[in-house]
Amino acid sequence: MSNLNEIVKINSVETGSFTATKNRVSFVIPETSDVVDMSKSYINLNMSINGDGTNICASNIAFTDNASQQHDVDPVMLVKNVSVESSRKGLLESIRRCDVYRSTQKQYEEDDEDKIDKNHLGLNCPRAKNKFALTPFRELNVDTASRELDHDIRIPLKDILGIGSVPQYDLSAFGRTKIACELNLDKIQSDHTLGAGDNAWTSDSKELGSMTDTATNSSGGDQTENVLITTKTYEVEQWRYLSPFWTNQQLLVSRTDKNGAGTATVKIATLSYNSSNKKIYIGCATAFGTAANGAAITGISVVGVTPATNTLVVNSAELVIEYNADKEAPSQVSIMTATTEEDNGAARTTLNKQYQIEPEAMSVMVCFPKANSIFSNLAYTSYRIAVNNETLTNRDVERDSPLDFDRKSRYMQNQGKELNCLREKQLNKTQHPKSSEANSVRYDALNNAILETVPVTDGMKNFGLEITSSGGNEINELILFKEMLKTL
């Protein structure tokens, strides 16, 4: 068959929806005479957040990592362990704790804008000026009906596997190929913004939930009201995107009317903009209050309504592969991969230990995930490394020192990559980072690691790791990722 620019979707071997306990997916690429461009192929997880059908809320995903729940999450964190094997060459690659390894690498490879720009393919929405209601799981409109959406989470193979960077993967040479993943589905759950308890309605003097009192009723009898008018003003080019209101959204209205102080739940039917006073007029499907003759409804404010149902469902998993049109491939390919060794520092503030690493290992990443966490997170004081009893530096490497930055730069150069970020902190998913804002607002959890290059040797080598930390930053779990070039 002709595979010119052809893209093929392969369903996972496992069928049905996936859960925290049913969290393994595998894909089989059949043996043919074709060549696959692995660098353009990816795993696609289709997810939805099912609401109650009444209240269209700004539903999204929370990543419930033990270190924090407010960080910006790269999709690679969903892949805990991954392996790939072929019928002709056996096991090609197996990376345990891929989530820790690849997410930590990305911390140094990508700057803030890189992370933000690709969020539309991940668990979070792309950042914009309106931080209140963005979500890839909902289409939030002011002119037409808002609705729920499925969302595809894309995990590029090149982000989780060394073989994923190969543009010419020859299926006739490798044969039937199976990619297997264990997913961190126990760490994701549904969430929402602008619910009843969201302080965005009242914080920062935004007056988002403040509404104008109704006009005095002069009808001669009681008069119901169903149009809310914002106190806050908006420019004509902004109101569609900067306001926290959309159609089919439920609001809890607090007001004082003829019956005294009380509340009413309403659904937004229409939204319009008054260019004279620059306010938004919110047409409700039902009345929010009743004004007595000669009186007005006063003290009006609104908040969102927490959805009665907000269920995250992982509907399906598929592998999307792109065939290489020229069908030519080299006889051998080289990939950068890693083996994993896990250890524990037993809550000490110092560590001095020898590890055995492979002769072909050319660099080592030492990560420090906290219990039940993916983020490498340890504010150690300093470290020093020796290979076969020869120290790599003439002094201790203090964290965040020029020497530390130099070692990280050497590590990235050794892999042929650019060092683009030394901030070592995860972006806060709830805030668009602006240079004028404090780091405590822009960033959430510490995300750091020890990165070192090591010489290639003829035999197994001793890797001496000495770490000094302090009280409150005890050394517990640590993972060594021993990286090497592998020729297939």
Series of mean pLDDT values for 10-residue runs along the chain (488 residues): 73 93 97 94 95 87 68 85 97 96 91 70 56 75 92 94 95 96 93 82 74 95 96 90 90 96 97 96 97 96 91 95 87 94 96 96 95 89 96 96 96 90 74 54 76 96 96 95 94
**What pLDDT sits at residue 1?**
44
Per-domain residue ranges for the chain? Answer: 7-193+312-487, 199-304
Handedness of CA 184, 186, 187, 188 (dihedral sign): positive
Q: Which residues contact 222 (CB under 8 A, 6 or more apart)?
A: 258, 290, 291, 292, 293
Contact by Cβ (8 Å): 116, 126: yes
Q: Which pLDDT does position 424 carry in this prediction?
A: 84
Helix (H/G/I), strand (E/B), else coil: 145: coil
List all residues 6 or more positions away from 481 whose beta carbon is below 8 Å from its beta carbon.
97, 101, 338, 339, 340, 364, 365, 366, 367
Facing residues of 348 across strands? 475
Question: What is the predicted pLDDT for the residue at 328?
Answer: 84
What is the model's pLDDT at position 30?
96
pLDDT number for residue 7: 92
Beta-bridge mates of residue 352 = 466
The model scores a pTM over 0.75 = yes
Calculate the alpha carbon distances from 183 to 188, 402, 483 in Å. 10, 37, 22
Cα→Cα distances 341→220, 317, 344, 356, 366, Å: 81, 29, 10, 10, 10
Residue 437's pLDDT is 58
Give burial (CB, 10 Å; 0-12/13-18/19+) of 71: buried
Token pair 């609104």: residue: 302
pLDDT of residue 207: 78
The rounded distance, in Å, linking the Cα atoms of 97 and 305 is 39
pLDDT of residue 280: 96
